[in-house]
């Protein structure tokens, strides 16, 4: 991690600060960004959270949500906020191109940039970098950042709620291997700050619309293919599938995990046609490295057990390409 003393001195006086995260932000992206927002506001900074794109409706309850500005809706306002900023916090992404057009504006900005992230192989664009792949989530690193700044006393229910949401979602409900003893101790401290963990879980996981639940059923029944030989499950979705169920931002969140619920399946892939190309989401169990798979073959990356990528082929062609890539990896998928 960077020298905390130098950044602490910089933040000892009020600044205009922008906080941003990746496109189509998930629970960790929103949780870490809004936790930073509440923390920096307590230190009298003029702070704004800018998102490149819209976020899922099931995260709309989070404290500070009403103050968020979305670039794809208000590009001129966001560009001006970046231009006027003195410090930009970059949370939960490792490369500025994950912000698309907003990333280009931030890259051109002379503002001091602070990276807080846990993804592999970050680009060297930040003045200060608080980065660790050992962290279960960026929210865990935000908690650690606040402690290292000597501001444990500033932790409150709003910050705790946001951090807990980030940890809960990025650990897949405290399931993934990076859910360390430290993570559980952090969760205990957040509970002691008065968060309603039952409410958080319900808001994130139990607020499906009927339409979204029927869509998931359709995907599992009609669109999921299981390759037992490769211990792989693939869900492939075309544009018409999304239109049929009026799919909105965030409605496919979590869908990629379902094939992994089948005994013996070690790799799950979700392939979706988007306006700008085909997107892939990868999830794996054990030692199978989907970050390497995505990085080498689909211009993507992420974590060992969770990554994303993209393809300029059709959905069907991408699925066939993926199967051909996996075939030589059969032994890795069958340890």
Contact 90/20 with Cβ under 8 angstroms?
yes
pLDDT greater than 70 at residue 224: yes
Mean pLDDT value across residues 218-238: 98
Phi (first) and psi of residue 273, to 5 degrees: -80, 120
| Per-residue pLDDT at 2 | 62
- Domains of the chain in start order, with CATH, are 4-205 (3.90.1640.10), 212-333 (3.10.310.30)
Mean pLDDT value across residues 44-71: 96
**Chain mean pLDDT for the chain:** 96
Count Cβ atoms within 10 A of the Cβ of residue 77 and give its class: 0-12 exposed, 13-18 middle, 19 or more buried. middle
Which residues make Cβ contacts (< 8 Å) with residue 292, sequence separation at least 6? none
| 184: number of Cβ within 10 Å | 12
Cut 0.85: pTM above it: yes
pLDDT tens digits for range 305-333: 999 999 999 999 999 999 999 999 999 99
Which residues make Cβ contacts (< 8 Å) with residue 181, sequence separation at least 6? none
Count Cβ atoms within 10 A of the Cβ of residue 217 and give its class: 0-12 exposed, 13-18 middle, 19 or more buried. exposed
Distance CA 143, CA 130 (A): 11
Which structure tokens are listed for 90? Answer: 């970059």
| Per-residue pLDDT at 335 | 78
For the chain, the maximum distance between any two Cα atoms, rounded to a whole number of angstroms, is: 60
pLDDT tens digits for range 83-103: 999 999 999 999 999 899 999
């Amino acid at each position: 991690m960077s020298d905390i003393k130098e950044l602490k001195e910089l933040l000892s006086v009020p600044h205009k600060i922008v906080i941003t995260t990746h496109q189509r932000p998930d629970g960790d992206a929103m949780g870490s960004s809004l936790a930073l927002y509440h923390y920096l506001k307590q230190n009298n900074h003029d702070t704004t959270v800018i998102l490149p794109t819209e976020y899922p409706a099931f995260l709309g309850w989070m404290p500070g949500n009403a103050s968020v500005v979305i670039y794809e809706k208000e590009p001129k306002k966001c560009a001006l906020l970046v231009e006027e900023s003195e410090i930009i916090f970059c949370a939960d992404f490792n490369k500025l191109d994950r912000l698309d057009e907003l990333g280009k504006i931030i890259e051109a900005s002379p503002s001091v940039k602070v990276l807080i992230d846990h993804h592999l192989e970050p680009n060297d664009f930040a003045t200060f970098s608080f980065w660790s792949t050992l962290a279960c989530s960026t929210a865990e690193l935000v908690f650690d950042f606040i402690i290292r700044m000597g501001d444990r006393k500033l932790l409150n229910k709003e910050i705790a709620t946001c951090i807990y949401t980030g940890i809960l979602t990025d650990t897949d409900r405290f399931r993934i291997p990076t859910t360390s003893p430290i993570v559980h101790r952090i969760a205990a401290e957040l509970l002691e700050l008065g968060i309603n963990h039952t409410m958080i879980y319900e808001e994130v996981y139990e607020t499906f619309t009927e339409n979204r639940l029927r869509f998931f059923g359709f995907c599992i029944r009609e669109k999921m293919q299981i390759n037992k030989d490769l211990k792989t499950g693939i869900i492939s979705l075309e544009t018409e599938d999304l239109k049929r169920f009026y799919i909105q931002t965030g409605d496919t969140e979590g869908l990629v995990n379902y094939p992994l619920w089948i005994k013996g399946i070690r790799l799950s892939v979700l392939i979706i046609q988007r306006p700008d190309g085909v997107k892939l989401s990868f999830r794996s169990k054990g030692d199978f490295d989907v970050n390497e798979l995505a990085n080498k073959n689909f211009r993507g990356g992420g974590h060992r057990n969770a990554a994303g990528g993209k393809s300029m082929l059709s959905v069907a062609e991408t699925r066939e390409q993926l199967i051909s890539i996996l075939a030589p990896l059969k032994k890795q998928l069958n340890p």
